[in-house]
Amino acid sequence: MPTYVYRCPADCPDFVERHPMASIPDRSACPDCGDDARRVIGAPSLGAGDSAAMRLQDATRASSETPTVVSNLPGSTRRSTPISTNPLHRKLPRP
Ligand SMILES: [Zn+2]
């Protein structure tokens, strides 16, 4: 069932209700004050789904701004940082 946003004229926060597409009320009672709230026409929330395609798009969008740091390539068993054999390195603090 699609969701619809309603705005109360008394400066209450907008609220969302679910209604069948066959019967969408233009007005609804505000849950905070009970006033007559009108339906707000806005952009459809197409990105609100939870599918593999949506997760991939979200991950791609997030990695374009803050790339994920990896230490190894996927499927690689080789360590990215070589293990030192110098005995003095044992005294260094570990990450
Ligand atoms: Zn209200």
Tally of structural domains, the chain: 1
34 CA from centroid of ligand 1 (Å): 6
2 CA from centroid of ligand 1 (Å): 22
Strand partners, 27: 38
Whether 24 maps to a domain, the answer reads yes
What would the two tokens of residue 47 be?
Answer: 């990105």
95 CA from centroid of ligand 1 (Å): 53
Per-residue pLDDT tens digits for 65-84: 888 777 777 777 766 677 88
Whether 30 maps to a domain, the answer reads yes
Whether 7 maps to a domain, the answer reads yes
Domain that holds residue 27: 3-42
Q: Which residues surround ligand 1, an ion (CB under 5 A)?
A: 8, 10, 12, 30, 32-33, 35
30 CA from centroid of ligand 1 (Å): 5
49 CA from centroid of ligand 1 (Å): 28
Question: Where does residue 8 rank: exposed (0-12), middle (13-18), buried (19+ CB within 10 A)?
Answer: buried
Per-residue pLDDT tens digits for 3-57: 899 999 999 999 999 999 899 999 999 999 999 999 999 887 666 667 888 888 8
